[in-house]
Structure 1
Amino acid sequence: MSSFVHLHVHTQYSILDGAAFIPDLFAKAEADKQPALAITDHGNMFGVKEFLNIAQKHPSVKPIIGCEVYVAPEGRLLRKNKEEATTCHLVLLAKNHTGYLNLIKLVSQAWIDGFYYKPRIDHELLKQHHQGLIALSACLAGELPRLILAGKMDEASQLVAWYKKLFGDDYYIELQRHKTRLNTQNAKTCYELQKQIEPHLLSLAREHHVKVVATNDVHFVNYEDAPAHDRLICIAINEDVTDENRKLKYTEEEYLKSSQEMTRLFSDIPEALATTLEIADKVEPFDLDRKPLLPHFPIPEEFSDANAYLRHLTIRGAERLYGQITPELKERIDFELETIAYMGYPDYFLIVSDFIQAARNMDVWVGPGRGSVAGSVVAYCLGITLVDPIRYGLLFERFLNADRISLPDMDIDFADDGRSKIFQYVENKYGKDHVARVVTFGTMAARSAIRDVARVQRLPLSEAERLAKLIPDRLPEKDGKSQIINIDNSLKYVPELQAALKSEDPLVSTTLKYARRLEGSIRNTGIHACAIIIGPDNLTNHIPLSTGKDKDTGEDMLVSQFEGSLIEQVGMLKMDFLALKTLSILKTSVENIKTNHNINIDINNIPLTDGPTYELFSRGDTVGVFQFESDGMRKWLRELKPTCIEDLIAMTALYRPGPMEYIPDFIDRKHGRKTITYDVPQMEKYLKETYGITVYQEQVMLLSQELAGFSGFKADSLRYAMGKKKPQEMETMKQEFLDGGKARGFDEAILKKIWVDWTAFSQYAFNKSHATSYSILSYQTGYLKANYPAEFMAAVLSKSRDNIEEVGKFMDECKRMELNVLGPDVNESMHDFTVNKHGDIRFGMAGIKGVGYRAVENIIQARQDGEPFRDIYDFVERINLNTCNRRVLESLVYAGAFDSFTDIKRHQYFLPFNKDGLFLDSLIRYGSKIQEDKNKDMLSLFGTGSDSLAPVEKPAPPHINLEVQEDFLKKEREMVGIYLSAHPLDRFSFEMKHFTNRSLQQIQEILDDGQYEEPFVAREVRVGGIVTNVTSALSRSSGRPWGTFTVEDYTASRKFTLFGKEYEQFLPYMREGEALLIHGSLQERIQYRRRGQDPKTVDGPKEKEFRILAISLLANARESLHSLTLNLNVENISGSFRSELVKVMTDNPGKITVHFILKDKSNKMAVKLFSRSHRIDLTPDLLSWIHKKGIEFSVE
């Protein structure tokens, strides 16, 4: 048994200060036979639950829960400037569960009302919450050492007396000795100060009969980790490792020393070592895991309890939804209510039902359902879901299983523009101290760790980026499982990383070395976007809390210190309020329809048999349709040609890795190309809707009941065992299934075949409840797109305006749908995209960069108070020029919002007007003067004004110079994110149509989707676009140049990275503004292999990438043309037509051969000829003539 226990230990949860990972700490403590180990992170208990969980794997090491709190000597409520805001350290350890509860009270209160730069407690709080706690006087930053260093020995003595009186024998004076091996002044000073105060600490201990205890202020695990920890500190304070004068420097001795090392260090004070064992013995083990602590829902007085009230609401809802309650429906409701009561969850249902109803009352749209809760009739009757589980054959047991106790899973979808209202409602309903959000931890991933370490080591940025980008996006599977993307795993497959680790340049090699060590360290905390905790009483009675800011409202809110995966283990009820953009799109679409057509659409009661909607799905015209917009899904929809909601539900379930292979069979069976067969006739009842294929988990559950007599709960247990691949449970259930099936008269061989089929598909079988709920959402979006296309696409664009690539994609879809999208206009635009009286979509002003909400409100209000603006002068006369300041006006000009004032062109606003500035400035002065004079006129009505005012002369626009359109297109794109009035590629419209075969958006969707059409993969891909960004750099290791360039077309942008010969070859084309034609192909991404590994044996992911083969200028594309083919109908060829044709060919001579395909529709014949006497050049005049005549043509 060790003679020492570490009682002052900082894990990685001492954020950007501790570099000790909890598993490593326990492993080392256990190896050294240390009987216990404490966790004492700075001001928080973030790591406590993980600490206890890891401790269970090391039963010989007792876990001790603690915290090194910050103490405000003058009181936690006092706020001074940062320099005067003194905080001191104090180590507190929980002796028992009572101590733990007091510790979470102290730590929580430090955040809630003591936070000032750091979370702080004070002596007042300690007096209230000291029971069950052990106190240690802490390091040099403790209250006691600071008083000693300040020479205030009387105050130091009084302080020890105060703590002794409060804690009795549970107060200890801490001794630390960090005799450094470093030669730096900071490190030496630390040890000198420790030596300086030690005699005084010992004297005070004797004076007040307080025991001393040895600690080591652990911040990392091993001595060898000190350089990595040093870099972590530099990352935290944003200073260089080489700066010896930086603010914070450790001694390199703050590691988890062995008991032997600590014994040597304190050999002269052995009692300080023995005290560590004494303290560890005082600590009573306790467990934080507990059953759920459910909040209580306030019920009306006339009901005896929550169960009675829940039944009342359920029956009332059933009568509303079903009309007559049949015996079968009553049996289902009774069964569900009895199960809910047995499991103790009636309050849970009431709470969820209440805030969903509140959301609807506040006009916050709620999804029809999510997950397995859609299988509950009670949830349907309460309005929690909008999906009838009886209509769709959904199962309650899939949601709640009394044989397998677990918390209900009711994650709720809310419209993303209203979810914050629901958070506020829950806080107001149950009390702010009953409700909290959930913390998240941002960790250093491989690339960020490399970048962070490189920065503090002053490795050149270009080299840091090169190293970071060597980390692959995916790694080969190992034993059928995905490998974690980290530096260690990447080193096995990337030779360049291996070379960097062994580089002769120490900056390069140490960057990787220390990044490996720091990878996974916690870098910051955040707040989970969706998760919320609701407790039965004040949450600080159960868990430690911190605080944060609501990003939507800016208000302070409580945040748990345990993350989501751990919060439920300690009994907290966690629910996810998910933000679903689709709901906001639906809501905005319905509002647009009401505005334009005066039709009220109840989206939850639209017919599910609408012909145009299924035609839209059958055509695959589902860009913008929830869940159904990927290229791969659209391809399958065109083959499936869905005719009912059940087809969409099945596609939702099947279109995933794994079950996707069943889609062709599913389609063939639907269309009668394959025979639908069933192993036994009884299976048809449950498999008919999916054409004999087992698609859903619920089908397995229902069939196990039908064929083997399983109960609903046992059927769900079977589903669970199959999905989780639990072999022992599966074997037991297999025998039960076979025995039950044989007892019902089924052949054993058939039963075994069914079992084999189930086990093969069980890992792919999908939750039908979720598929149904989300397919209804998909249908709703499809219905609106099919029946109200402009209103729907306006909503889609409004909710996508922050994503340039999304907006580009949807603008392209509008063009395909022949919907006009007009640029912003001060006389017609609202905040978001809207549909005008002509059916055109108008860009919203809120989407213009630099034009804020208040400015748009002011413009709209001025328009509504008077009339449309007549011209720019009228505009500046009427709007508030403080709100719509120069920057706003400039943005409006660049975005084209004044283009309807046709007498002034965009560039004129920026021409010099006089010595006082540009024409735009003169307009602002003019508007200000007009408004000022109006105010003076108003005052004169009351006898307080001056004499009559001279008229203000309108500034005349400067003389028009030649406008450079592309410069203003760039500005337009900068303001609204896309090109609206025109596009730099417009002058290459012919080339883009005839020389490219894919858009950049299509390339990206194919790569993202993972579905590749082999004929497409095999052939050359041609894309065109404008170069928008170029970067170049030199590789530090090789000195060779490399670079990136970004290309944008009408639909998307794509960044290309070039190295070596490719960089040199294509460098001439890497110029911003250049219009390029890029030839490439989809190829398998290069797989990295271990040194010495046969390339043929590399087992990498089957991943494709777009590789550039050649680049040329779009402007030169026509030079490669050698053939023009005109498709002519014989009946349209007259003498005058022939004359025109000959003339236009003669007028445009060149090298291109002209071919003719003459079609005779009456005889269904076609003849191909070519002109021997004319070769042409494809000039604009010739193209104009071809288009004017409506002739179909192709080029080669």
Structure 2
Amino acid sequence: MFINCKTWFSYRYGTFSTEKLVDTAAEHGLSSLGLTNINSTADLWDFVDFCRTKSIKPIVGTEIRNEDKFCYLLLAKNDTGLLETNRFLSQHLQAEQAFPERPDCFSEVLIIYPLGSFAAQNLKKHEFIGVLASELNRIKKQEVEAFPKKYIIRHPVTFQDKTAFNIHRLLRAIGKNTLISKLGEKDFASPEEMFVSEAVLMSTFRNFPGMISNTLQLIDSCEIKTELHTDKNKKHYSASGEDDRILLEKLAMEGFQYRYGTNPVAKARVIKELKIINDLNFNAYFLIVWDVIRYAQNRGFYYVGRGSGANSIVAYCLKITDVDPIKLDLYFERFLNPHRTSPPDFDIDFSWKDRDEVIDYIFKRYGKDHVSLLGMYSTFQRRAVIRELGKVFGLPKEEIDQLVRGKDQPMNEDKIQRTILKYGQLLENFPNHLSIHPGGMLISEKPIYQYTVNELPPKGFCTAQIDMFLAEKIGLFKLDILSQRGLGHIKEAIRLVKQNRGIDIDIHRVEQFMSDPKVAEQIRKADTIGCFYIESPAMRQLLTKLKCDDYLTLVAASSIIRPGVSQSGMMKQYIERFHDPNKIIYLHPKMKELLEETFGVMVYQEDVIKVAHHFAGLDMGEADILRRAMSGKYRSHNRFNEIREKYFANCKELGHDDTASAEIWRQMESFGGYSFSKAHSASFAVESYQSLYLKTYFPMEFMVAVINNFGGFYATEFYFHELKRTGAKVNPPCVNRSEYLTNIRGEEVFVGLIHVQQLEKKLCDLILQERLVNGDYLSLEDFIERTHAGPEQLNILISVGAFGFTGLGKKKLLWKANFAQKHMTAIPDSPALFKEPPMDFTLPDFPDYPLEDALDEINVLGFALTDMFRLCAHDGKGTVLAAQLPELLGKNVEVLGQLVVTKDVRTIHREHMAFGTFLDPKGDWLDTVHFPPSLKRFPFQGKGFYKMRGKVVEDFGTFAVDVQAMWKVGLKGKKEELNRKTVPAKVP
């Protein structure tokens, strides 16, 4: 009877979770249930799964609305009807078209209109009128009797109870971006849209028994037969499964010859992998990944193959990855084992500039009806939902800010504030809107619409309404096509080296990079700013602590920096044992056998799988569930808890000590959501070495490449700082020498026009095009005549020094620009035939002040190209430098620094502390620690200069200041005072 139910995937409308909706139906003893979310089928496969578990017949469809207007219900009679429904939704959502009042494109879909839409005599066989209980007094019995088969019961279900109804009203106000007091009755659902007993519903319609029987017959006519957890992916890459097997074997053996020559150990592993890949029907999956890689190679795109698939020797032979599983002793079963039901993960990273073309190729190669980007949904979280509710109740911003901070700062709450906090808590984790998975793509054998609706976000690629968990439940396995800036750095650096020095670089000579002593020294010094994955303060400190200068140590460092290892205390244990083998303790003899390479510490996902299998006796399928749980790819905790119970039962049966078993489980469990596979870390380390090589031998070009890719751990100004440290001469933007991006000629760099804030892209393009066609600009007047730049844009360019080539001061240039603008009456239709010399004036001498340029650069670029400490209102007297800290260990010192970045953490007592990274007056990096008592008294106050007092501390060769007191230091005074001797700020 309940064929019109919604969940919270009717975004900002429904209040039931999918599982709760089905559970509630089961509590009411229902034998069937219909899910019809608004313009969506996002959670239908969870719904089908939960219904089957509860022995409830699932009816699936959607409620079509044009904005707030309810148009009709669509119910799929069968799997074909579901495909038709999803395709219908997709076409209209992608085109942003209103849904038709009466669709005529279905063969296996039932349509149910609201009462009053159409006369019963005009309805087709598959069309019906749905009658609400509240509408019975409006309907005439004669009408129903005249067309007895056309009327059915429609009782919508949207919320659970009165509290949920209030949540619904709040969601509607959030969705409409309005005050809740301004909502009218038509803006939200009827308070009656809740479950009632089936007996009560039938009693309500007792005078219309035909409606009851029609509804039951309609339910009987609908059935979804699709099986879950069965392979729905593209079955074959070539003509057949056997052809796929032959092709994959041929390609793998050709690649084996290239990678290994005649190595018998490697060949045996290739043969073993090929057999299991074939047995598990993964041939097509490997060939599709190979096909994508082949396209990228042909287009000259750089890529990195990683994920669990990087443990595969077949992937290595196909050049999907550059990680040698024999050399690294990668655990085969982490990649693939006979118990595994899903193919291994292949995460293929491309430059952010190339990724969209690769995605476009996949859509075109495998057909838009079979390909989709994977969706995900963002959820309401505490801070955001309190802000939304604050707006709904009309609170001022200051009060909302206070409420958001209220978790840490108790306040006197009034009734409205208590209501916001109450419902904010209830709304946490509600889905808010559809989003896009960072890189997942689905390629299906049947049309993708058999399983999901595809929407079209601004990115321009069709995106599924389902997330990765539902895709896997269906049997669709994602291929991750990701982008990262690190590859952009490498590609751009190679281009700049070729352009600037005429040198071709083979960036794939990674083995040579790993044995290069200069590169090793670069890692040992942790001089890695700009290098992929190893530039953050925490990573640079870890490299120093491990005295890292080789590939295997870098691979381990890439994994132990992850929160799962570091927060569990295992990172500290690893470092201690690295330096002192006497501290290595194995909790069990089996652990020595399994973890000797990592000093008895679990570092990789493989370690956890090996321990679960060889120590606790879990089979590889169960160990794989553990792996999925710890990598954040397993949504259900029920199965995880079953594995936990089996782990401890097995340990007891095997006679293991309870204390040791519990500690080993604690270490495994701490990996949750954060661990890497060894192959994944190894792939990252390969890219790190490529970046390190470029930074070591071509530091100027490399830093320009980092700047031009706008991605890294630090703000752009600090990459310009690093660029200056290489010896490059960095010039401000120039209309004659700058490109849109920053460029380098010899050792001279010109900042790109893209960095000039508020400079219009249209004018940038014109400046460059005009210069290309007609040569350099001869003067300010020549520039104005050729580009017709407006006064605001001219003032910006003059302020940043873009006309320095004229030899005139900025004030004279500003005067000339304003004069020229006033006397330009109209923009000429064509260039003048003859150049007229610019009018010359004798202008007074305008005073220039030493730091004016720096202040202008801060205003226009957001940072200064000069030494920032020239602007600091403290002269640095009495302070020490970062380079002096080793000789002052244990001493109390004062330091002066420009804030680069902070990292906030919580102590084991949930108190707030922080780590700081600064530049000192010499341009060296300075690290600080701010424990809770100090941070409470002396909090950070945004970017700028700080004077700090504290004790020098050391941890395995890394030095920092344990800050006891900290004060913000301002900039020097007014421009008129900049040429005078500046008095230091009064800082204690």
TM-score (normalised: structure 1):
0.68
Match of 1:548 among 456, 464, 489: 456
Deviation at 1:962, TM superposition (A): 4.6
Deviation at 1:658, TM superposition (A): 5.7
Match of 2:523 among 607, 617, 620: 617
- Contact 1:721–1:730 (CA<8 Å) still a contact in 2? no
What pairs up with 1:296-695 in 2 under 5 angstroms? Answer: 296=235, 298-299=237-238, 305-322=243-260, 324-367=261-304, 369-471=305-407, 495-496=410-411, 500=413, 503=414, 506-540=415-449, 542-551=450-459, 555=460, 557-606=461-510, 607=512, 608-657=514-563, 659-660=565-566, 661-662=569-570, 666=574, 674=582, 690=598, 695=603
Q: Distance in 1 between matches of 2:89 and 2:150?
A: 25
Residue 292 of structure 1: aligned partner: 231
- Alignment partner of 2:285: what SS? helix
Match of 1:894 among 786, 789, 799: 799
Match of 2:105 among 125, 129, 132: 125
Structure 2 vs 1, CA of residues 594 and 1010 (structure 1 numbering), >3 Å: closer, same or farther?
farther
Q: Distance in 1 between matches of 2:169 and 2:625?
A: 53
Deviation at 1:211, TM superposition (A): 4.9
Deviation at 1:430, TM superposition (A): 1.2
Q: Distance in 2 between matches of 1:908 and 1:544?
A: 64
- Contact 1:295–1:535 (CA<8 Å) still a contact in 2? yes
Q: Which runs of 5+ in 2 are unaligned?
A: 631-639, 881-893, 931-935, 952-960, 974-979
Residue 955 of structure 2: aligned partner: none
Deviation at 1:419, TM superposition (A): 0.4
Structure 2 vs 1, CA of residues 620 and 832 (structure 1 numbering), >3 Å: closer, same or farther?
same
Residue 46 of structure 1: aligned partner: 42
Q: Distance in 1 between matches of 2:740 and 2:970?
A: 40
Residue 1037 of structure 1: aligned partner: none
Structure 2 vs 1, CA of residues 951 and 1017 (structure 1 numbering), >3 Å: closer, same or farther?
closer
Letter in 2 for 1:828: R
Deviation at 1:581, TM superposition (A): 1.1
Q: Distance in 1 between matches of 2:153 and 2:597?
A: 72
Q: Distance in 1 between matches of 2:262 and 2:365?
A: 33
Deviation at 1:902, TM superposition (A): 2.5
Letter in 2 for 1:990: D
Letter in 2 for 1:849: Q
Structure 2 vs 1, CA of residues 344 and 591 (structure 1 numbering), >3 Å: closer, same or farther?
same
Deviation at 1:853, TM superposition (A): 5.1
Deviation at 1:282, TM superposition (A): 4.5
Letter in 2 for 1:124: D
Q: Distance in 2 between matches of 1:508 and 1:711?
A: 51
What pairs up with 1:808-823 in 2 under 5 angstroms? Answer: 808-815=717-724, 819-823=728-732
Letter in 1 for 2:228: D
- Alignment partner of 1:641: what SS? coil
- Alignment partner of 1:447: what SS? helix
Residue 921 of structure 1: aligned partner: 821
* 2:780 is equivalent to residue 872 of structure 1: yes
Q: Distance in 2 between matches of 1:315 and 1:512?
A: 63
- Contact 2:876–2:896 (CA<8 Å) still a contact in 1? no
After superposition, give the CA deviation of every residue in 1:821-869 in whole Å (9 maximum; x if it has no partner). Answer: 33222232223233331x2443211222234555444434444455543
After superposition, give the CA deviation of every residue in 1:1152-1181 in whole Å (9 maximum; x if it has no partner). Answer: xxxxxxxxxxxxxxxxxxxxxxxxxxx959
After superposition, give the CA deviation of every residue in 1:545-587 in whole Å (9 maximum; x if it has no partner). Answer: 2321452xxx4x3222212221122122321111111111111
Match of 1:790 among 700, 703, 706: 700
Structure 2 vs 1, CA of residues 774 and 284 (structure 1 numbering), >3 Å: closer, same or farther?
same
Q: Distance in 2 between matches of 1:711 and 1:412?
A: 31
Residue 218 of structure 1: aligned partner: 157
Q: Distance in 2 between matches of 1:275 and 1:1080?
A: 81
- Alignment partner of 2:558: what SS? helix
Q: Distance in 1 between matches of 2:181 and 2:616?
A: 74
- Contact 1:821–1:842 (CA<8 Å) still a contact in 2? yes
Letter in 1 for 2:71: H
Q: What is the RMSD computed on CA atoms of the aligned residues?
A: 4.9
Deviation at 1:351, TM superposition (A): 0.8
Q: Distance in 2 between matches of 1:39 and 1:546?
A: 18
* 2:750 is equivalent to residue 842 of structure 1: yes
Deviation at 1:378, TM superposition (A): 0.9
- Give the number of aligned pairs: 930
- Alignment partner of 2:456: what SS? strand
Match of 2:139 among 190, 193, 198: 198
Q: Which runs of 5+ in 1 are unaligned?
A: 72-81, 140-144, 148-155, 179-193, 473-493, 739-747, 938-948, 1026-1048, 1057-1061, 1083-1103, 1117-1178, 1184-1194
Deviation at 1:370, TM superposition (A): 1.4
After superposition, give the CA deviation of every residue in 1:789-838 in whole Å (9 maximum; x if it has no partner). Answer: 111111222222799x611333344455555433222232223233331x
Structure 2 vs 1, CA of residues 605 and 458 (structure 1 numbering), >3 Å: closer, same or farther?
same
Deviation at 1:624, TM superposition (A): 2.2
Letter in 2 for 1:775: A
After superposition, give the CA deviation of every residue in 1:861-885 in whole Å (9 maximum; x if it has no partner). Answer: 44445554343234345x544xx66
After superposition, give the CA deviation of every residue in 1:146-175 in whole Å (9 maximum; x if it has no partner). Answer: 45xxxxxxxx25423xx2xx32xxx54222
Structure 2 vs 1, CA of residues 597 and 969 (structure 1 numbering), >3 Å: closer, same or farther?
closer
- Contact 1:373–1:396 (CA<8 Å) still a contact in 2? no
Deviation at 1:355, TM superposition (A): 0.8
- Contact 2:382–2:428 (CA<8 Å) still a contact in 1? yes
Deviation at 1:382, TM superposition (A): 0.9
Q: Distance in 2 between matches of 1:175 and 1:209?
A: 13
Deviation at 1:327, TM superposition (A): 2.9
- Alignment partner of 1:997: what SS? strand
After superposition, give the CA deviation of every residue in 1:725-777 in whole Å (9 maximum; x if it has no partner). Answer: 824554687699x7xxxxxxxxx99x999989966754558521112111122
Residue 129 of structure 2: aligned partner: 173
Residue 135 of structure 1: aligned partner: 111
Q: Distance in 1 between matches of 2:81 and 2:629?
A: 44
* 2:818 is equivalent to residue 932 of structure 1: no
- Of 399-408 and 677-686, deviating more is 677-686
Q: Distance in 2 between matches of 1:120 and 1:544?
A: 21
- Contact 1:548–1:558 (CA<8 Å) still a contact in 2? yes
What pairs up with 1:84-123 in 2 under 5 angstroms? Answer: 89-111=71-93, 115-116=96-97, 118-120=98-100, 122-123=102-103
Q: Distance in 1 between matches of 2:391 and 2:663?
A: 56
Structure 2 vs 1, CA of residues 528 and 158 (structure 1 numbering), >3 Å: closer, same or farther?
same
Deviation at 1:347, TM superposition (A): 1.1
TM-score (normalised: structure 2):
0.81
User: Which protein, 1 or 2, shows the higher relative CO under an 8 Å CA cutoff with sep ≥ 6?
Assistant: 2
Residue 691 of structure 2: aligned partner: 781
- Alignment partner of 1:14: what SS? coil
- Contact 2:896–2:945 (CA<8 Å) still a contact in 1? no
After superposition, give the CA deviation of every residue in 1:1120-1173 in whole Å (9 maximum; x if it has no partner). Answer: xxxxxxxxxxxxxxxxxxxxxxxxxxxxxxxxxxxxxxxxxxxxxxxxxxxxxx
- Alignment partner of 2:451: what SS? coil
Residue 241 of structure 1: aligned partner: 180
Q: Distance in 1 between matches of 2:292 and 2:486?
A: 20
Deviation at 1:372, TM superposition (A): 1.8
Q: Distance in 2 between matches of 1:223 and 1:702?
A: 51
- Alignment partner of 1:389: what SS? coil
Deviation at 1:308, TM superposition (A): 0.5
Q: Distance in 2 between matches of 1:261 and 1:715?
A: 47
Structure 2 vs 1, CA of residues 15 and 888 (structure 1 numbering), >3 Å: closer, same or farther?
same
Deviation at 1:384, TM superposition (A): 0.6
* 2:895 is equivalent to residue 997 of structure 1: yes
Deviation at 1:214, TM superposition (A): 3.0
Deviation at 1:309, TM superposition (A): 0.8
Residue 60 of structure 2: aligned partner: 65
Letter in 1 for 2:701: E
Letter in 2 for 1:9: C
